[in-house]
Amino acid sequence: MPARTRRRYTEEFKLEAVRLVRESVHPVAQEARDLGIPDNVLYRWTAQHRQAETHGITRAAQRAEAVELARVKRELAQVTQERDFLRRAAAFFAKESR
């Protein structure tokens, strides 16, 4: 069975698809079929767009925020590990010097 490749869509395509859903009288699933994309993807795009609008930011800014948050969480985990290691080392050497 061949490996499936992940399809990438441009931001313009996503925005246009969301606009079509909002202006259309057809169900989201019908619009997704017309565009040739899975309906769950179109549902997710519309939900993300709606959430971004309620927060007053763009989807791109929202995505950039999520990427930055993930980076900061990784960095925090690394710093926490380093701190714990240094605490154990300090405790070990404190016992040795007594």
Query: Are residues 45 and 17 in contact, defined by beta-carbon separation less than 8 angstroms?
Result: yes
Residue 18's Cβ-count burial label (10 Å; 0-12, 13-18, 19+) is buried
The secondary structure of residue 37, as a DSSP letter, is S
- The pLDDT assigned to 80 comes to 97
Look at residue 59 in the predicted model and tell me its pLDDT: 76
**What does the CA dihedral 53, 54, 60, 62 come to, rounded to 10 degrees?**
180
pLDDT of 1: 66
Q: Report the pLDDT value the prediction gives residue 57, as an integer from 0 to 100.
A: 80
Over the chain (98 residues), the average pLDDT of each successive run of 10 is: 81 92 91 93 92 82 90 98 96 84
pLDDT number for residue 55: 80
pLDDT for 35: 93
pLDDT value of position 6? 81
CA atoms of 18 and 43, how far apart (whole Å): 9
Delimit the domains of the chain by residue range.
9-56, 60-98
- The DSSP line for 46-82 is HHHHHHHHHHT--HHHHHHHHHHHHHHHHHHHHHHHH
